[in-house]
């Protein structure tokens, strides 16, 4: 599917996003001015955030366009996707046509030619819209950078243009049963056989696992070499005998995300599909990219917190109890003032991390603390907000319920918060 894009002003991204206008006469659907329904962000405003120093006018234009697109096109379908446990494969082509994929990938490889801030905007708006099934953040801002930062020229040319259009949907097969956060303990093994590697192993908790047709597999190419024995192999699943997909996992939250088990039984992969062209580099390639992955989790968290606060403000100002709105009770106002202060502080912290990261200065320790602290604040905010909905907060037809269950995994994936604190403490 061809991309439908409109050029931006001079200095804009090389392959710009399409400016989505939405239905005729529709109102903007960004953070502070969306229509009030059970599915779209509430009109009721929280206090304004402090200016985000990393956001340019181009980022803000993108933010409004992406918010319109998500709320007009995808949010109305999100309940059905949650029931199905997967977003249709066609949504990836739609995202590619809209220009929402691989925005920070260099234009010479078919990407947007922007910075990480452009991908961050899409990630935050997907989280704000409660589109828990959309794995575009992993695809565009985790997997794609492995290619354009670590891949060979041939790998960049072969894979990135098709990732940018949605022809290829990517996943990264990292976690295994029994290994958790210990990347050096992976058991999946790739044995050299002439011009190929033969992969055997199993992976679990894999985002985009059902839709993906390009999978970066973390495996051992030397069993007893520790970190130096880890390599990243690129598996194209459309023609990969021995590859099979297991269950779509039944999760507490992220119900529309096709998180899956994957199995590799004598899967033959050309030696040219070793990321970067040489074995033994995988662990170090992973370490280089993990700060951005952890920042993504923080970005998702703060956007979800902002949405939860707005949903709750809208609810308590119209919900009656004992003859008056819940907002008229001092406890309600005090609770939400505390939530507001947490959201303001969290957004300021995340914005500071973004400024540092865009300048190439965000280190692994601070990224780890951002991931752990933001996800912990997210859990507290969701709990406080849901409580004010009473029994309705426990109903999945209300966005706060989905926000609540989705928040729990933020403290687990990307490295558990306990591991994040341990990692950060080593630099103190």
CA torsion angle 282 287 288 294 (round to 10): 130
Structure tokens at 308: 């939860």
Q: Name the phi and psi angles at 6, rounded to 5.
A: -120, 135
Whether residue 50 contacts residue 348, with contact meaning beta carbons closer than 8 Å, is answered with: yes
Closest CA to 297 of 166, 408, 179, 163: 408
What are the C-alpha distances in Å from 11 to residues 17, 113, 164, 251?
Answer: 14, 11, 21, 43
Q: Name the phi and psi angles at 170, rounded to 5.
A: -105, 160
Structure tokens at 51: 């200016």
Among the listed residues 293, 306, 378, 402, the single catalytic one is 293
Question: Residue 24 catalytic?
Answer: no
Residue 371 CA to residue 295 CA, distance in Å, equals 6
Task: DSSP for 202-245, please give it.
Answer: EEEEETTTTT-SEEEEEEESSTTSGGGGEEEEEEEGGG-TTEEE
Write the burial class of residue 341 (CB in 10 Å: 0-12 exposed, 13-18 middle, 19+ buried). exposed
Give the strand pairing for 320-321 and 243-248.
unpaired
Q: Taken in order 345, 347, 352, 353, is the CA torsion positive or negative?
A: positive
Residue 378 CA to residue 302 CA, distance in Å, equals 7
Residue 264 CA to residue 241 CA, distance in Å, equals 9
CA 286 to chain CA centroid, nearest Å: 17
Place of tokens 């961050």: 120
**Residues with catalytic annotation?**
293
């Amino acid at each position: 599917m061809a991309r439908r894009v409109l050029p931006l002003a001079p200095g804009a991204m090389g392959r710009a996003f399409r400016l989505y206008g939405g239905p005729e006469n529709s109102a903007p659907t960004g953070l502070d001015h969306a229509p009030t329904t059970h599915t779209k962000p509430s009109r009721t405003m929280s206090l304004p955030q402090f200016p985000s120093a990393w956001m340019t006018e181009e980022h803000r234009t993108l933010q409004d366009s992406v918010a319109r697109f998500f709320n007009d096109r995808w949010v109305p379908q999100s309940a059905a996707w949650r029931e199905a446990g997967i977003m249709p494969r066609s949504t990836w082509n739609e995202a590619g046509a809209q220009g929402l994929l691989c925005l920070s990938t260099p234009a010479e490889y078919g990407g947007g030619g922007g910075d990480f801030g452009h991908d961050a905007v899409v990630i935050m708006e997907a989280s704000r819209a409660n589109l828990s099934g959309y794995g575009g953040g992993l695809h565009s801002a985790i997997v794609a950078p492995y290619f354009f930062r670590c891949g060979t020229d041939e790998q960049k040319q072969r894979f990135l243009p098709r990732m940018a259009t949605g022809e290829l949907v990517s996943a990264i097969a990292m976690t295994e049963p029994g290994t958790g956060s210990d990347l050096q303990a992976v058991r999946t093994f790739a044995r050299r056989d002439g011009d190929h590697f033969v992969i055997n192993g199993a992976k679990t908790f894999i985002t985009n696992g059902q839709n993906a047709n390009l999978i970066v597999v973390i495996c051992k190419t030397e069993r007893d070499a520790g970190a130096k024995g880890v390599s990243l192999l690129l598996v194209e699943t459309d023609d990969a005998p021995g590859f099979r997909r297991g269950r779509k996992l039944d999760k507490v939250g992220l119900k529309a995300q096709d998180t899956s088990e994957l199995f590799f039984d004598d899967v033959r992969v050309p030696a040219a599909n070793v990321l970067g062209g040489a074995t033994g580099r995988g662990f170090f390639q992973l370490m280089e990219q993990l700060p951005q992955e952890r920042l993504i989790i923080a970005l998702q968290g703060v956007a979800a917190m902002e949405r939860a606060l707005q949903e709750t403000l809208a609810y308590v100002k119209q919900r009656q109890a004992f003859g008056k709105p819940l907002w008229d009770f001092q406890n309600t106002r005090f609770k939400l003032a505390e939530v507001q202060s947490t959201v303001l502080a969290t957004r300021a912290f995340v914005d500071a991390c973004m400024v540092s990261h865009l300048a190439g200065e965000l280190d692994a320790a601070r990224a780890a603390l951002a991931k752990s602290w933001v996800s912990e604040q997210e859990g507290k905010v969701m709990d406080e907000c849901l409580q004010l909905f009473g029994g309705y907060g426990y109903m999945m037809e209300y966005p706060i319920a989905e926000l609540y269950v989705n928040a729990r995994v933020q403290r687990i994936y990307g490295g558990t918060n306990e591991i994040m604190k341990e990692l950060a403490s080593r630099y103190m």
